[in-house]
Amino acid sequence: MIRSRLFRKTLVFFIILFGVVANVSAAYSGWLIYKRLTQEYESKAVAIARSVAHSDIDIIARSDAALIQSKIDQYLDLEGVSYVLVTDAHGEVLAHTFIPVIPEQVLAAVNLVRSRDPLSDSTLVQHVTLPRGDVIHVGMPILAGAAGFVYIGMDRSIITNYIWQSVLQQQGITMVIFVVSGIVAFLFIRSISMPLMRLTEYANRVASHDFSGSIDIRTNDEVGALAQTMQSMSHDLAALVGNLENAVAEKTEELTETLSYVSAIIGNITEGLLVLSADGRVFKSNPALERMFGCSGLEGCTVEEALAVNALPEANAELISALRRALAEGHADGARIVQLFEANCFRADGGSFPAEISMVCFERNNVVSLLCLMRDVTERRRIQESLRKSHDVLELKVAERTRELSRMNSQLMLENAERKVVEQALRRTEERYRSIFENSIEGIFQTSPEGRLLNANPALARIFGYSSPQELIAEVRDVALDIYARQEDRKAFVETVGAEGRVNAFEFKARRRCGGLIWITANARAVHDRDGRLLYYEGFIEDMTVRKEALARLEHQAYHDPLTGLPNRMLFQDHLAMALSRVQRRSDYAFAVLYLDLDRFKVINDSLGHSIGDELLCHVAEQLRRCVREVDTVARFGGDEFAILLEEISAPREAVRISRRIMEMLSVPVSLGGHEVFTSASVGIVLKTERYENPQEVLRDADTAMYRAKELGKSRFKVFNQRMHEAVLRLMALETELRKAVERRELYLEYQPIIDLAESRICGFEALVRWNHEYLGSISPAEFIPLAEDSGLITDIGDFVFEQAVTDLKKWNVPEGIAHRGSLYVCINISGRQFMQPDFAGHVEQLIREWNANPEYLRFEITESVLMEQMSVVADTVSRLRTFGVRMCIDDFGTGYSSLSYLQRLPVDIIKIDRSFVAQLQNDREGRSIVRSILSLGNSLGLDVIAEGVECLHQEQVLDDMECRYLQGFLYSASLSVAEVDSLLAMEAPLAYLRFTAESGGFKDVSGL
């Protein structure tokens, strides 16, 4: 729409300049905001770190990781806090808020803080880049680093967000101003350019001798006056042109007369004159042209020869081409052609100059010729360039002044509007904050530097026991004397505010009107005037007495046993850790740890009730307190387990002496709830403590020693030694290997024959599980079976034994074998843990169906101790097994409770005489009497009796005389592999072969004996 080139350039320049100013101001504002927010967040991080370091110094000094973790987790709720990390004086991390691990960049920053002067108590602020963004890392030493360090990380992404929001808002406002200014500039320029364009158009028509039109510009400015002047001039020119045309004819004759004068003029004019004939040769030239091109004698030369420059073959090519073209066009059209242009011309010496050239073709004697005038415009161009620069500078100054006035006007209007908005906002804010001040539940105050209350709200009066703020202000003359319980707290408050300008979570004890003491937490700042003079302190306080009391109760509950009041495991480990650190620092320091477990506590608890059990635990706790010194620590870990830390002992015998005293005091019966209760304890002792690095290792070895004491018979103490630890490690390794062996089915079965003397044949076998390890060799069942029971592998091993025994039994009890030697049965040992599993009978029924086993040939062996544990459960399981057809056998009969009542109550079929009684048959009459009694008892109850451990012919003869029908022992055979049993059963007389091989010392596959 705006076609004026002059005003278009001006408008584009203003737009570019406005954009540059807007971007520079936005960049500066963003940098200023970034700097201020970074300082604010660094100050905030330092304040938080100092708060953690000062308020929780006792917890950090104790290295209480759990309580420290709970404390620092609260700071994550503060805006901008990215993480909190606490280390001890050695740089060990006590607690942190990272999930799951601490980034390497943070650990590097922590090491940088620790590498500073250890006596420095100042903070170190760093900028750390993490994968999730940049943070401000602040390190705060506690007690100059002696108690540890606190590190706070502030998220810098919040600063970036604030900066982007501010820049975007500023750019938005700038864009609005820009659009409005552009529209105003467009309208302003358009109002100027349109009249000028119409004036230019009218001037062009006048220049083409068109005087018929008129111009309609009626403005009271220079443009309007110029339009009127031009229209008047056009009318005058029209008249003049008409008169001039008439005068031309009259003057033509006079012109001819003046030709002679023209020649003289041509020879003296400053413009170069060149006349070319039709064939392009120089007809006429004047001295000015020769001086201009530095040549002479041009008449008769072609234009190329006249204007040639030897050093530059292509020089003046543009001029020569224009002259030739003008001649050709004039000759072809026969018309008068006028051309005006500028060209860069060259002199004969190679120098160049700009020239303005005008050419006209005319007829001379009916021959077309070319007249060319050339003017050196070097000086004119210099003057024009100078004028253009001056004009541009003037335009810039006018535009800048116009823009400045416009901006000042806009700013003034904006400031007036903002002032009105701010005044309204201030009135609303004052009303709102007055309401908050009056109705706040926190006490708000203003005090003078001398301690005089200047202002207070109702909540502050209620906290200190006054009926109104006026009464509080009137009675409190000096807060240091009337409010603070300790003068040192007021002094610390004033010093902190003076040094930092504010206090956060400042805790102190305050005095109420009635004289009672309460805990107060204050947040306050110092207010100064423009000259920096302190005016007053202002802030708010909160009564935290209830919170303090609850915190004290929670802290005591967290570290003490609720039943006995003794320290719990956590507090004990804390004391033990401090004892370990003292061992490292002091060569003369020694301590011992006692790990105590009550014997038969479960029996007392189950039989007399949990209340009696709790009374017993409290009694034991009191006795333990009496047995140790004040410096020692007695703790309850839970259940019936106690631990004692004996500090500052001079020799190991002190720990032994205290252990004996404990066992003596616990052996004294105590009356609880009308019952006389006896108890004892098994104690594990750790004496050599200098090699331990953490409390867990000490407690582990003390627990190992305690269990060793229980294994040796309870009611005793055992001092830990390295062999116990090695035994535990071997047990753990053995458990791992046993699991692998079960998974890879590396276990196998061997069978020991059971002899029927009445029929002189093998009537059955006892299945014995064996384990031959690849590296450890043959491992005794007495070692790995208890381990399998403790680890829960006994079920898998039992299933394997059942499956393998049933498979082998099916192979041996084929019809041909039964017809040849009679049927065989297999005795399978069932452990107590396996037998007491829920629905053991149902599991056996499932296995019988799965393997299509004949229960008639199955015998399950269990010990007396298993039968006596839970009689009702055992009786039900045995009865269910009997209904399936499985016969039950009592193994090692006579070594357990030997209660005859359970033989009558339980449906058992077989009893096995323990090998210890069989071994006494040769020289012990009492042993013979016991065996004879067992045989008589079994026969009277209709039970089969098997004698185990028969190793010589004399034992066989004695048992045969006692009419013991079934025998088992090394006299006939040790346990045999499956292949050996196959070979044995394939013989004609297996029993005779067993007697023969027993005498010769080995099993030989001699078929057909």
pLDDT one-digit tens code per residue, 864-898: 777 666 666 777 788 888 888 888 888 877 776 55
The winner for highest mean pLDDT among 133-137, 249-253, 379-383, 657-661 is: 657-661
Quick one: tokens of 187? 């309208």
Q: Report which secondary-structure segment, H or E, holds 241.
A: helix 222-257
* CATH architecture observed for domain 269-376: 2-Layer Sandwich (3.30)
Residue 576 has pLDDT above 80, yes or no: yes
Tally: H helices and E strands in the chain: 35, 31
* Contact (Cβ atoms closer than 8 angstroms) between residue 126 and residue 109: yes
The Cα diameter of the chain in Å comes to: 186
Residue 671: phi, psi to the nearest 5?
Answer: -95, 120
Q: pLDDT grade, residue 1007 (50/70/90)? A: very low
The pLDDT score that the predictor gives to residue 1004 is 47
**d(Cα 864, Cα 866) in Å, to the nearest integer?**
5
- CA separation (Å) from 332 to 312, 328, 724, 931, 968? 32, 6, 129, 158, 147
Model confidence at 751, pLDDT cuts 50, 70, 90, reads very high
pLDDT digits (tens, 9 = 90+) for 516-558: 888 888 899 989 888 888 888 998 888 888 888 778 778 777 7
Asked whether the CA dihedral 352, 354, 359, 365 is positive or negative, the reply is negative
Q: What is the DSSP string of 903-950?
A: HHHS---EEEE-HHHHTTTTT-HHHHHHHHHHHHHHHHHT-EEEE---
What pLDDT does 643 receive? 94
Whether the Cβ atoms of residue 206 and residue 175 lie closer than 8 Å to each other: no
Cα R_g (the chain), whole angstroms: 59
**Which CATH architecture describes the domain 735-829+970-1000?**
Alpha-Beta Barrel (3.20)
593: confidence class by pLDDT, cuts 50, 70, 90: very high
Q: 141 is written with which tokens?
A: 């030493």
Q: Which residues, 6 or more positions from 780, have their beta carbon under 8 angstroms from its beta carbon?
A: none
The residues with which 560 forms a beta bridge, in sequence order, are 567
Higher pLDDT among residues 242 and 150, named by residue:
150
User: Same topology for domains 269-376 and 433-550, yes or no?
Assistant: yes
How far is the C-alpha of 239 from the C-alpha of 253, rounded, in Å? Answer: 23
Q: Are 888 and 878 within 8 A, CB to CB?
A: yes
Name the more confident of 700 and 1001: 700
Task: With cut-offs at 50, 70 and 90, classify the pLDDT of residue 2.
Answer: very low
Give the amino acid at 163: I
Task: Give pTM, 2 decimals.
Answer: 0.41
Q: What percent of the chain has pLDDT over 90?
A: 7
pLDDT at 788: 81
pLDDT tens string 409-425? 888 888 887 888 887 77
pLDDT tier at 9 (50, 70, 90 boundaries)?
confident
CA-closest candidate to residue 737, choices 686, 697, 798, 788: 788
Q: Are 739 and 791 in contact (CB under 8 A)?
A: yes
d(CA 822, CA 813): 8
In CATH terms, is domain 5-167 a member of 3.30.450.20?
Answer: yes
Q: Which CATH class is domain 560-720?
A: alpha beta
Average pLDDT, the chain: 81
Block residue for tokens 């543009």: 318
Q: Please state the three-class secondary structure of 592-657 as a single string.
A: EEEEEEEECHHHHHHHHCHHHHHHHHHHHHHHHHHHCCCCCEEEEEECCEEEEEEECCCCHHHHHH
Q: Quick one: average pLDDT of 574-578?
A: 91
Question: How many Cβ atoms are within 10 Å of 565's Cβ, its own excluded?
Answer: 13
Domain boundaries, the chain: 5-167, 269-376, 433-550, 560-720, 735-829+970-1000
Q: Which fold has domain 433-550?
A: Beta-Lactamase (3.30.450)
